[in-house]
Amino acid sequence: MLEDISAIVTGLYTTLKHIIRPPVTIQYPDVKRPPRYRFKGRHELKRYDNGLERCIGCSLCAAACPADAIFVEAAENNDDERFSPGER
Q: 6-36 pLDDT, tens per residue?
A: 999 999 999 999 998 988 888 888 988 888 8
* DSSP 8-state secondary structure symbol assigned to residue 55: -
Within-domain flag for 77: no
The pTM of the whole model exceeds 0.75: no
Give Cα 60 distance to the centre of its chain: 22
Q: Which domain holds residue 25?
A: 2-64
Distance CA 88, CA 75 (A): 7
Within-domain flag for 83: no
Is the model's pLDDT at 77 over the cut of 70? Answer: yes
Within-domain flag for 70: no
Distance CA 81, CA 51 (A): 12
Classified as helix, coil or strand, 53 is strand
